[in-house]
Amino acid sequence: MLKILLVHQNFPGQFRGLTPALLQAGHQVRAISMRPEKVLAGVTNFHYKPSRGSSETVHPWLVSTESAVLRAEAVSARVQQMVREGWVPDVVLGHTGWGEMLLLRPVLPHARLLGLHELYYQASGGDVGFDPEFGKDPDAPRRLQVRNLHLGASVLACDEAIVPTHWQASCFPPLLRERMHVIHDGIRTDELQPDASAWISLNREGLRLSHGDEVVTFINRNLEPMRGYHQFMRALPQILADRPRAHVVIVGGDQVSYGTRHASGESYKKIFLNEVRDRLDLSRVHFVNRVPYQVLLSLLRVSAAHVYLTVPFVLSWSMLEAMSVGALVIGSDTAPVREVIEHGHNGLLVDFFRPDQIASAVCQALADPQAHAHLRVAARQTVVDRYDFHTRSLPAYMALIEGREALTTNERG
């Protein structure tokens, strides 16, 4: 039995599936996060809070670095308290994106530190400067080099590094990449299966949509350019004109998750809706904000065409979940998506910058669902074979945590 500490500012985050498995295996599990409430049964969650905010006089490029150190300082103090009270972790598994793992080695000299790393910022080849519509930052190479300070240091601070996809691993410098194991968080394909009886009801409109209806879906945490919302909206006039029976369901909030807010202060949701509003039949475009997870799955199960667009950035769980339930994914031809989707085999790839191409692919899928049925089957099989939580992700994570020989799923970056 091991004493395992999970560190994540928004626990459980990526450890939601792993945590119950650790408990079931007989390990003692505690968590440290910025959430004050108890989150998962059987896990004591220790709340931490940075001692202060960013300094007013700190160099603007160093704001994220200072924030990371403040978080690391607070987490380190919390762990010191645990140690004084007699609970000394054997293993610490933590997300490194916010700096929380930076200062644990001096406090826990004998523990195995495992870091989950999501991204190392790039001046080219990543999200920065990808979409010329939003301008170029001449300071980006220098600014991002500084922003990476705590991300690179976090790799070095851990005994083992974990990254969810090969593309994400490729973002790191070669010397850091050598330390990385590619292990995805995992998709519960046993629960996320196709269901031809699925349906959803849009209560405000009194509309019921079922499997077999011409349902187009688009899902983001927040509707923003990083996830191609602007290009999707520009494709809608053609989709609605060519497919008069189609309904479009758009899930997502009107804040910003990854990029920056528009200079006007207006939400991207409203800006790009207004751009095409006069060319849309809004009775067939349904913005549903955010919905409960089970409703989201029902929506994916009735989807006739699920559009997933992203700049080169962290791949969304929603795309793999859509594939697991047998949705036809029309994805952007960008590196993170190409790692999973092979055009014409398990989905369709379209040019991120071509709304006409996005619309054409959607309309073809709606017009002849049978001709695309094999893509749905292959999509699910891809997720089962490569991203299943129980057969792929969990064994690889457990091998690292328990210090056993890495399994075949535990691939070096």
Region for 372 from its dihedrals, namely left if φ exceeds 0, alpha if ψ lies in -120 to 50, beta otherwise: alpha
Start-end of CATH 3.40.50.2000 domains in the chain: 3-186+388-412, 199-387
Whole-angstrom distance, CA of residue 257 vs CA of residue 356: 27
Report pLDDT for 78.
Answer: 96
pLDDT reading at 135 higher than 50: yes
| 332, 136 Cβ separation under 8 angstroms | no
- Phi and psi angles of residue 204, each rounded to the nearest 5 degrees, phi first: -65, -35
Whole-angstrom distance, CA of residue 190 vs CA of residue 172: 33
Whole-angstrom distance, CA of residue 370 vs CA of residue 399: 42
Report pLDDT for 409.
Answer: 41
pLDDT reading at 308 higher than 90: yes
Under CATH, domain 3-186+388-412 is a member of which superfamily?
Glycogen Phosphorylase B; (3.40.50.2000)
- pLDDT grade for 412, boundaries at 50, 70 and 90: low
- What is the fold of 199-387? Rossmann fold (3.40.50)
Report pLDDT for 410.
Answer: 46
pLDDT reading at 407 higher than 50: no
Whole-angstrom distance, CA of residue 103 vs CA of residue 75: 8
- Residue 296 structure tokens: 């989201």
Whole-angstrom distance, CA of residue 3 vs CA of residue 83: 12
